[in-house]
Amino acid sequence: MYDVVIIGAGPSGVFLARFLDPRYRVLLIDKRNLDSPDSPRFQKCCGGLLAPDAQNILARLGMGLPGDVLTSPQLFSVRTIDMDHDLERYYQRFYINIDREKFDRWLAAALPEHVDQRYDSLYLSHRKDGDGITVTFRQNGEIREARTKILVGADGAGSRVRRQADPSFRGPSYLALQYWFKTEKETPFYTSLFHRSVTDFYSWIIQKEDHLLVGSALPPGQERKRRFEDLVATLKRRGLITGDPVRKEGAFINRPKKVSEIRTHLDNVAFTGEAAGFISPSSAEGISYAMKSGLLLAESINSDFLSFQKTYHHMTRGLRRTIWLKNRKLPFMYNGILRRLIMASGLFSMKIR
């Protein structure tokens, strides 16, 4: 019998497992193999940038990134291109450019010994069983079960845990597509692209060593892939990328338009990170929200195991408030007329030689 079973070993699941009190029996399940550097590479569809909020959390915890987690170039500005109005501006921002796979492995490697880690394991279902929950998962081709008092869905936007626990959950509506292109030149900017015919969200270009990542967060629709391919063709005509993609990847992402879409728990099933709906609706930055919500859930369970739900919901009010405020910011970023006026004015922008 476990006290806490966590599905998903991304930043939210690992931070939760790491900071739970050692007196609890904890099981962490993930479909990837995070404890063997010789295992086949997995690649999460992620831009792999640590925003200032994520840096702040690591700093407060006294956690410094090892050198092999970093990837070049390090980025100190955002190049914003409004393709609808042919406007381009540069703004100073501070991101840490990371290899997302190595980052996740580094986080998992620091887990304490009392956390039972089951990798190459796929969560299948759960059911309430008396005073606990029985979790069914597949490990090494075998069906296994584990009983727990608390189950946590830290398994991302399309959370299978939340789908089963929350019948009202509609799932993520946006699809992130990302292609990798070889490059021989350095592009030391995080490039954000706005093109209404492609998406009502945004697209991006990020360099990782000798590759350029071109991605876009695409709204629902039958022609999402075609619109993304049109964007790629446009970028090639502009000389921003060349050649054919060497890797293609995709993932669903949430974009909470209302705070009511965020769910912290249902009875003894809790949710963290994007499974709960904690992600920026303006930039789709989710790593800082994942780490912070994992930490807050750990603090809630540590302080009040029997009624952690109310404590966790209360402690995450700041995250919900931030998401509400970012939704108020959306018109200035995604309304074409307002964005054109702001960019044309040059407000807060800087010149690049």
pLDDT by residue (tens digit) across 33-66?
Answer: 988 766 555 667 889 999 999 999 999 999 999 9
Report the alpha-carbon distance of residue 273 to residue 280 in Å, rounded.
11
Task: Give the model's confidence band at 20: pLDDT under 50 very low, under 70 low, under 90 confident, else very high.
Answer: very high
How far is the C-alpha of 8 from the C-alpha of 322, rounded, in Å?
24
Closest to 315 measured CA to CA, from 291, 288, 286, 293: 293
Q: Which of 253, 323, 275, 256 is nearest to 166 (CA)?
A: 275
pLDDT tens track for 73-97: 999 999 999 999 999 999 999 999 9
Own/partner pairs, 108-111, CB within 8 angstroms, 24+ separation: 108/9, 108/14, 108/34, 108/35, 109/35, 110/18, 111/14, 111/17, 111/18, 111/28
* Contact call for residues 213 and 47 (beta carbons, < 8 A): yes
| Alpha-carbon span 288 to 27, nearest angstrom | 23
Q: What are the φ and ψ backbone dihedral angles of 264, each rounded to 5 degrees?
A: -90, -25
Averaged over 210-225, what is the pLDDT?
93
**Mean pLDDT in residue range 163-191:** 93
Q: What is the DSSP letter of 41?
A: P
**pLDDT per residue as tens digits for the range 272-327:** 999 999 999 999 999 999 999 999 999 999 999 999 999 999 999 999 999 999 99
Per-residue pLDDT, 40: 56
Residue 109 has pLDDT above 70, yes or no: yes
- pLDDT tens track for 39-48: 555 667 889 9
pLDDT at res. 130: 84
Over its C-alpha atoms, the chain yields an Rg (Å, rounded) of: 21
Q: Are 313 and 264 in contact (CB under 8 A)?
A: yes
Rounded Cα distance between 287 and 290, Å, is 5
Question: What is the structure's pLDDT at 167?
Answer: 87
Mean pLDDT within 255-262: 94
Average pLDDT, the chain: 94
